[in-house]
Structure 1
Amino acid sequence: MQPRFQVFLSSTFRDLREERQAALEAILELGHFPAGMEAFPAADATPWELIKTIIADSDYYVLIIGGKYGSTGPDGISYTEMEFNLAEELKKPILAFIHGEPDQIPAGKVELASEARSRLQSFRERVTQRICKTWTNKENLKTSVLLALVHAIRTKPAFGWVRNEGLENQELLKRLASLQER
C-alpha cells in the first residue's frame, strides 16, 4: 500500500485564496492530505503553537508567495516567514512557489507600506536561494505544485501515513520487532 503524505500549505491568506484552493486541489488530486489554516480546528492553543505542531507532523511544506508579506507576530516577522523558518529548522522538504510577475499583481493584493514591501523583498530573496518555481495564475500554480510534489515524493521520500489494514496492535508490534531485528 502506498503511503499518503501530509503537506503543509503556507502563504498569506486573504490575497491568495484562489491560489491556495488550487494548491489544495493539487494535493488532494495526488491522494495526499493538505494541512493549512483552512482546516485548523478550534483548539486550546495559540495559533503559533498549533501551526508548529502541524508543520512538525507534516511530511512536506509548500510555500506560496504573492504580493503581501502578511500579518506579523510579536517580533515583526510574518507568520508565513515564521512557518518557513520552522520548516527549514525541522529540515522538511520545502517546495517554494513565487509569483513570477510581481509588478503585475493587482493593487489590492500587494503591500502598500514600504516596510512591509521591504520585508517581503528580503523574504523573497531568502526563499529564492533555493530552487523555486514561479507562477502567474492559479492554473500554472496548480500544475507546478502537482509536478513538484510528485518529484519530491520520489526524491525525498517521507514516512507518510499507511492504512491499518485490520492488524491488531500486538500483531503489528511483532511485525515491527521482526523488521527491526533484520
Structure 2
Amino acid sequence: MRIFVSSSFEDLKEHRAAAIRVLRQLGHEVLAMEDLVAAASTPLNKVLEMVDRSDAYVGLFGWRYGYVPGAGSKRKGNKTDNVPSADSIADGETSITHFEYLRALEREIPVMAFLLDEQYPWPPQLIDGFDAARPQAQPNTKKIRALREKLQLERIVSWFTTPTDLEARVGTAVTMAGLTRQLNLEEAQLLPSEAGVASDSSAAEGIKNAIIAAGDTGRALKIDLATSWWSTRLYLIAALASCFTHVQRILVVDSRPTDNPGQSTAAVHDSSVLRDERFVGQLSINAILTTLEPPVIATSTFLTSMQGRHLINDDMAVGIDQLVVEWARAFKDTIGNHINERATKVDLTAERLRRRFGDAMLQQPIRIADLRRASEVDILRLLDYPNDFVPVITRVAGKSKLTYFERVDLVDKVALNARLARSYLEELLDRARIR
C-alpha cells in the first residue's frame, strides 16, 4: 500500500521516524512531508496531492495543532489550494495537519489515527500555549483538543506513548488495514417488486432484467418480502439463474424504512425512501429447485426445456423469454393470464420459508458496519462461518451522506481465503527482500 503519514513535525519527529520505519519494513510505500523538495507550489498543495495518491492515511496527534498556512487570509473556497470542502475549515485558521485528515476523509481512504496518551508525560515546550516564542504558536490547546475530540468521535483511535510503542501499534493497525482491504462484498442483484407475482408483462420483464444484470459475474440475487412473493416465482427465478448465470445463492430480506431523521414512512415502491434490509435467510439455488418444485412441473415440458438450455449458447434475453413462455404453458396459462399458477402458489413469508426449508436456510448473518474498519474478530468470524457464502449486513451511506441504510450482501469466503493467502505470501516476499 501507499501510505501517507501525517502529524505536526518538530514535536513528534522521533515518533514519525518510528512510524515511517515500520511501514517501510512491512513493504509499504510511505509518503510524508520529509519527501518534499523546494517547489513553486505551496506546501499545502503538495501534501494534499500526496494524500490524493495514497491508499491509506496514518495520523499522529500530540499536543500541537500544527502550522496554519495563510493565517489572516481568506482560504475557504480558494481553488488554487484545492482544499477539502468541510464545514470545520475556517479561513486562515486550519492547520496543514488538519487539512490532511480532512482530505483523507474526503477521498474516503482508510484512516488510522493515533493519539498521544493523555497520561503520558510530555515536555511542556512541545504543548501549544507553552511555546509562545515559536512562530505561529497557538495561544492555548483549544484547537488541538477540539481536533483530538473530533477524532475520538469519528474514528476508532489508538493511544501511544514512546516511539517504540507507536511503532508496534502502527504495524498492527496497518497490517489489519491490509487484511480489511481484502474484504470484498458480492453485491446481490435486488429483484424488482413486480417480479414476485405473476401479473402483466412487467413481472416477466423484471425477472429477465435481473437475470441479465447478474450475468457471468453475479453470485447472488435478492428478494424483498416487503412486497408479495409467490413460491412459484421464486422457483422460476432459481431455475432461470441456474440456466443463464453463475448465481449460487438467493438472499431473502424484509426491508423497512430507515430511522433517519426527517424520513417518513412511504410505499415500498418509492425508491427515494431509504430502507433498512433486515436479513431473513440465505438459500442455495439447488435447495430452492428441490424444495419448491410445484407438482404440476413434474409432468410439464418446462424441466426438459430448462435442462436443454444449459447446452445452448444463444442470446440470453431470447432464451429467458422462451423459458418464461414454457413456464406459463406448464400451468396451462398464458402470459398475462396466470389463473392456474395463482391456484398453485403459496405466498412467501419469513415463517413459511423457515418451516419449508428448515436447516437448508441459513438464518445467521454477520454484521460489520464498515468493512474498512473490520477487526481481527470480524475476519475470524467470516472465515469460521459454516458456508462458503457469508451473508453480511453493512451500513451504506445515502446520496447525501447524511443518511444511511443497512444493506445485506455476501462475502465469498473461498475468494477471501485466496486473497488473504496471496497477501500473506507477498508480505513474506517483501520482508525477505528487506533482509
Q: Identify unmatched segments of 5+ residues in structure 2.
A: 71-91, 131-137, 184-215, 218-435
What do the CA deviations read for 1:79-102 (whole angstroms, capped 9, x no partner)?
A: 101110111111110000001126
In structure 2, the residue corresponding to 1:81 is in which secondary structure? helix
* Selected match of 1:48 from 29, 33, 44: 44
Gaps of 5+ in 1: 159-180
Instruction: Check the 8 A contact 1:66/1:102 in 2, yes or no.
Output: no
Number of positions where the alignment pairs a residue of Structure 1 with one of Structure 2: 156
Mapped partners of 1:146, 1:94: distance in 2: 14
1:128 partner SS: helix
What's the counterpart of residue 137 of structure 1?
162
Indicate the SS of the match to 1:77: coil
Q: Which residue matches 1:177? A: none
Match for 2:177 among 127, 143, 152?
A: 152
Q: Does structure 1 retain, via aligned residues, the 8 Å contact 2:120–2:161?
A: no
The answer to whether the Cα contact below 8 Å between 1:93 and 1:156 also exists between their aligned partners in 2 is no
Report the 3-state secondary structure (helix = DSSP H, G, I; strand = E; otherwise coil) of the residue aligned with 2:141.
helix
**Post-superposition shift, 1:42?**
2.9
Identity fraction in percent: 29
Deviation at 1:73, TM superposition (A): 2.0
* C-alpha displacement of 1:44: 3.3
How far is the alpha carbon of 1:41 from its aligned partner?
Answer: 2.8
Q: Which of 2, 5, 10 is matched with 2:6 structurally?
A: 10
Q: 1:151 to 1:82 in 2, by over 3 A?
A: same
Deviation at 1:103, TM superposition (A): 6.2
2:33 corresponds to? 37
Deviation at 1:157, TM superposition (A): 4.9
Q: Distance in 1 between matches of 2:7 and 2:47?
A: 13
Highest RCO, 1 vs 2 (Cα 8 Å, sep ≥ 6): 1
Normalized per residue, which structure has more helix? 1
- Alpha-carbon shift at residue 127 of structure 1 (Å): 0.8
Q: Is the 8 A contact 1:23 1:142 kept in 2?
A: yes
Name the structure 1 match of 2:112.
95
In the alignment, is the contact (CA less than 8 A) between 1:19 and 1:137 conserved in 2?
yes
Q: Secondary structure at the match of 1:73?
A: coil
How far 1:115 sits from its partner (Å)? 4.5
- Answering whether residue 99 of structure 2 is matched by residue 82 of structure 1, we say yes
- Residue 20 of structure 1 deviates from its aligned partner by 0.2
1:166 is matched with: none
Q: TM-score, normalised by structure 1?
A: 0.80
CA RMSD after TM alignment: 1.9
User: TM-score of the superposition, structure 2-length normalised?
Assistant: 0.34
Partner of 2:150: 126
